[in-house]
Amino acid sequence: MPPRLILIGPMGSGKTTIGKLIATKFNLPFRDTDHIIEQENGKSVSEIFLEDGEDKFRALEKSVLRKELLSDDTILALGGGAPISIDAQSALKAIASPVIYFDISLASVAPRIGFNRDRPLLLNNPRGQWELLMQERRPIYEAIADRVIDVNAKSESDIVDEILMVIS
């Protein structure tokens, strides 16, 4: 059985927070591809990017995604770039699990991720880089998603309730 639910969206959109809440409600394991990569490699995502390069990170991400899409009855959150490759898009479109995209604006995400923290894809001009990433990624997220949730002005409980309507 594939994951019960897959959450996609940019960094800071709430995938991990909401994913854990949903997993608790259903008494299911929660998995996050970025956290799995960190555990398996003994390094943070930032360290992998900086020490080994983005190509190495994306290869690790692709391997973890492939394995996690076969996991039994979990709530799965993907790192922001995980669904971007053509292979990942094909796999996510083919899987029976609902895919939910958390859409968030720059104004809402900025206080959440603190653009001064260690985010390798946002090193120079973090706000501008975030906007460029979203221009590239938003159409992909939307094409993959079975449902788009605008998380900008919603509480965690409102988002959870909306997801529960999708997967119940």
Q: To which H or E segment does residue 34 belong?
A: helix 33-41
Confidence of residue 155 (pLDDT cuts 50, 70, 90): very high
3-class DSSP string for 104-126? CCHHHHHHHHCCCCCCHHHCCCH
Burial 21-38 (b: 16+ CB within 10 A, else e): bbbeebebebbbbbebbb
User: Where are the strands (E) in 15-98, listed by range?
Assistant: 30-32, 75-77
5-167 topology per CATH: Rossmann fold (3.40.50)
Please tell me the predicted confidence (pLDDT) of residue 112.
62
The string of pLDDT tens digits covering residues 22-44 is 999 999 999 999 999 999 999 99
Q: What is the pTM of this model?
A: 0.91
All structural domains of the chain with their residue ranges? 5-167
The string of pLDDT tens digits covering residues 84-137 is 999 999 999 999 899 999 999 988 887 766 655 554 544 566 677 778 889 999
What would the two tokens of residue 71 be? 């996991």
What would the two tokens of residue 128 be? 């501008």
Dist. CA 137–CA 109, nearest whole Å: 15
What would the two tokens of residue 6 be? 């897959």
> How far from chain centre, in Å, is Cα 95?
16
